[in-house]
Chains A and B, each alone.
Chain A
Amino acid sequence: MAIYENIWYLIICISVVFYAVLDGFDLGVGALHLFARDDKERRIFLNAIGPVWDGNEVWLIIIFGGMFAGFPSAYATICETFYSLIMILLAAIIFRAVAIEFRSKVENRKWRYLWDLIFSLASILMAFIIGVIMANLIRGIPLDQEGNFYGNFIDFFSPYAILLGLTACALFAMHGAVFLLMKTEGALHDHIRKWVSPAIIVFLMFYLMTSLATVMYMPHMLDRMRAAPWLFIVVVCAMLSIANVPRCIHKGDDGWAFISSSSAIAFLFFLFGIGIYPNLVRSSINPADYSLTLYNAAAAPSTLKVILIVACIGVPLVLAYGFWIYRIFRGKVKLSDTSY
């Protein structure tokens, strides 16, 4: 019984969800950064994510570290085949991280504008590439029997992949807007309120297009749900969560709006995890035989056991102090002499 493989797959899925929910608002804030009207507002944006963004980005390392440990072949194949995409993603991550750190260090208009621009563009680029990589995992990549890759860089940018990339940008932008609403007050709060409705509408449009495209062109994503119809609950939950965001905003309940937006992201990413299961990397040449699944890509049971123990000790700790840190920094952003 491949119980360990399934548990480890679930852990990686949960890491993906945590990454998407947490770094999602970081990226969203970045995407909206240039819409702020003056330097003070931009500093408030940065300090809203300031104490937590690098903790959030660690989830990305956990996803790939977890894959390296649990599914070495899948990790190697993904890194090797998405080489150029990952290089661009890395450049974006680097520039985004240093832009946050460097931006406020020098009081010079051009310096700050340059880093503002880099921060915002890098955030959008990261969201887009994450979407593109997910789309290619859904669609499948040309892999032969031995896991060799036959394809090139341009093939990654199919219309479906671009659509999913844009959907990811729209999703994170909405999430970021709701997050900022929760973290700001006064005139800035009212200003951001005006962004939320357009952000939700844009996201809904992309969401509908992506759903239609998936049902029409990627029917294998529904196989799992046909086999177990109760999984359709996840779809319903995702829709209800999305619908709840504008309702809470309308009521002025920013906290619940953020929770709804978070759970919408969580359910959408779970849908992705359910859809591709049990494949980790789908082969478009022969999906049935050449794909890397969580069974043929898994590490030995002895390794899976050890990393499961590591995860059982580590993850609760991480969640406990992560929760504590978020509690310490709850409430509206106030600038002080230690801020960015």
Chain B
Amino acid sequence: MDVVLLSRIQFGMNVAFHYLYPPLSIGLGLMIVIMEGMYIKTKKPAYRLMTKFWVKIFALTFALGVATGIVQVFGFGNNWARYSRFVGDVFGSALAAEGIFAFFLEAGFIGIMLFGWERVSPKLHYFATICTALGAHFSAIWIIVANSWMQTPAGYAIEGEGAEAHAVMTNFYEMVFNPSTLDRLTHVVIGAWMTGAFMVISVCAYYFLKKRHRDFAYFGMKLGLVVASILVVLQLISADSTAKGVAKNQPEKFAAMEGVYQTAPHTPMNLIGYVDPKTKTVYSWQIPGLLSFLSYKNFTTPVRGLDQFPEEDWPPVPAVFQFYHLMIYAWGAMFLATVLGLILWKRKTFEKSKWINRFLVLSILFPYVANQAGWFTAEMGRQPWIVYRLLRTPQGVSKAIVASQVIGSITMFVCIYILLFVLFCFLLNRKIQGGPTEEGSLKTDDLIYRDPYESTPQRS
């Protein structure tokens, strides 16, 4: 295997593993801000209990997000040095801004959020919580600005020739608000919020099943369902706007998403199917004209097919097609989960219905599938370009590295990431099994100063 393919695998894997954690911290960030706000307003102890419980899970997620995120800062230069030289002038400023505005805010205030309960007043603590959540959101903004610039470059000029060519920023505002930034940012942030909401729903449904922490689960479930039902609708609007943008700005990607090989009127939308890239045909159940309608508001206008573009500019159609549809199915599952949850609420039978609660416990998987599949659609759909229509992926790779080095680092990271993910699940499960702890129940000296090195009776 060559360095380009290996580097793509490595970068994709690094990002995919990293992207397990930030959506959860962004989503839980929002949920915690709402919970603590409710506590300050209503003074109900259930909300304080919820806040303290979710803050601990936030901290766990955050630590893993940071640990896997630092890799990204080096990931560009390590394997994609030529690309880094090409985009550094433009891309680097977004990344530097992310560091200064987002990471410091989040990393600074999380200390107060976690350890400051006794050191600052409740209002100040709430302020710290808001700042931490804001920091998590800011970190989404800048990286998406940078990534969107790779999809739809704007506000730049090319200087130099051949290997020396690189992009120079001419207009910061145009660079930041390039044609796809706002759509993609909304889409990603709503996806992250859904991850937070379904995490809360999932854990509360689990407590209902096990008949534990009834109050905690009751308030949490209602909050999660309210947020989820708003977001499920918002995400649909955002998806529509994003797809229209892709159709306009990156027509090859759009054609690949639905496997449109031939430009023809009444372009259909595929419900389920597969693509045969050799014969360039799509075998699927289709709704004729729907894609034309969704893109241009009438059933006849043809969607530009791949036949209008040279074949060397085509993205890998089957992969993009499947990831895109997987994302839509995941949305459907979330929609179903929300509706079922609302029915339980209406009937006041949260504790009784076993099967729906089981489904709701699983519902945390859906936003995860959607997040990952969405990213793969976006980034594989950008291929064969690393910067759309400016730099091809093989041109961006580092020259100084050899395949064995990349294989070595891939192996190392696969082992580390799997280990971390297993430990994350183990600790998350432990925390959930332990449940929310009542105020002050851990305050005894005995518990705090229990020394596992000396204590002979081991707790099972």
- Chain A residues with CB under 8 Å of chain B are 38-40, 47, 50-52, 54-55, 57-58, 60-62, 64-66, 68-73, 75-81, 83-84, 86-87, 90-91, 93-95, 97-98, 100-102, 105-109, 112, 146, 148-149, 299-300, 302-303, 306-307, 310-311, 314-315, 318, 321-322, 325, 328-329, 335-339
Contact = CB atoms under 8 A, between A and B. Distances in A.
Contacts, number: 247
Given A39-B453, A79-B76, A94 B71 contact: yes
B76 A66 contact: no
Given A75-B77, A315-B100, A98 B448 contact: no
Contact of A101 (B60, B73, B115, B405): B60
The 8 A-B residue pairs whose C-beta atoms are closest, nearest first, are: A72-B88, A79-B77, A51-B111, A69-B92, A314-B100, A337-B442, A101-B63, A76-B81
B70 A93 contact: yes
Contact of B448 (A50, A61, A100, A335): A335
Given A68-B76, A69-B88, A83-B401, A321 B67 contact: no
Given A68-B91, A73-B88, A102-B427, A79 B96 contact: no
Interface stretch (B116-124, B315-323, B351-359): B116-124
Given A105-B431, A107-B459, 20 more contacts: A58-B99, A61-B70, A61-B103, A64-B77, A65-B100, A68-B84, A79-B398, A80-B77, A83-B405, A84-B408, A87-B412, A101-B59, A101-B64, A105-B430, A299-B89, A299-B168, A328-B112, A335-B449, A337-B440, A339-B448
14 contacts: A51-B114, A57-B70, A72-B88, A91-B416, A102-B423, A107-B459, A148-B400, A302-B169, A310-B93, A314-B101, A325-B111, A329-B119, A336-B443, A336-B448
Nearest to B14: A90
B159 interface: yes
B46 to A, nearest CB: 19
A97 B61 CA distance: 12
B112 A325 contact: yes
B159 A300 contact: yes
Nearest to B55: A338
B112 A307 contact: no
A94 B112 CA distance: 22
A148 B399 contact: yes
B78 interface: yes
A307 B454 contact: no
B115 A339 contact: yes
* Interface size of B as a range: 35 or more
B108 A321 contact: yes
Contacts of B70: 57, 60-61, 90, 93-94
Given A75-B84, A83-B405, A97 B66 contact: yes
Contacts of B459: 107
B379 interface: no
B119 A68 contact: no
B96 A66 contact: yes
Interface in B372-406: 398-401, 405
Contacts of A109: 452-453
Interface in B37-88: 59-60, 62-64, 66-68, 70-71, 73-74, 76-78, 81-82, 84-85, 87-88
Given A58-B107, A105-B430, A68 B63 contact: no
A61 B96 CA distance: 8
Contacts of A329: 111, 115-116, 119
A83 B412 contact: no
Nearest to B120: A328
Contact of A90 (B74, B92, B101, B111): B74
Interface string B160-187: 0001001011101000000000000000
A45 to B, nearest CB: 14
B239 interface: no
Nearest to A113: B453
B275 interface: no
Given A112-B452, A148-B400, A78 B77 contact: yes
B111 A52 contact: yes
A52 B77 CA distance: 28
Nearest to B402: A83
Contacts of A311: 96, 100
Nearest to A70: B92
A68 B78 CA distance: 12
A98 B64 contact: yes
A300 B416 contact: no
Interface string B418-454: 0010010001001100000100101100011111111
Contact of A81 (B116, B119, B400): B400
B409 interface: yes
B76 A80 contact: no
Contacts of B451: 38-40
Contacts of A310: 93, 96-97, 100
B313 interface: no
Given A302-B168, A302-B170, A329-B115, A79 B78 contact: yes
A99 B301 CA distance: 58
Contacts of A84: 405, 408-409
Given A55-B107, A100-B63, A80 B88 contact: no
B386 to A, nearest CB: 14
A328 B405 CA distance: 45
Contacts of A315: 100
A321 B93 CA distance: 22
Given A90-B74, A93-B67, A76 B84 contact: yes
B110 interface: yes
A72 B166 CA distance: 10
A75 B80 CA distance: 11
A38 B454 contact: yes
Contact of A69 (B62, B78, B93): B93
Contacts of A72: 84-85, 87-89, 92, 166
Given A68-B96, A93-B70, A303-B93, A73 B85 contact: yes
B92 A98 contact: no
A62 to B, nearest CB: 5
A69 B77 contact: no
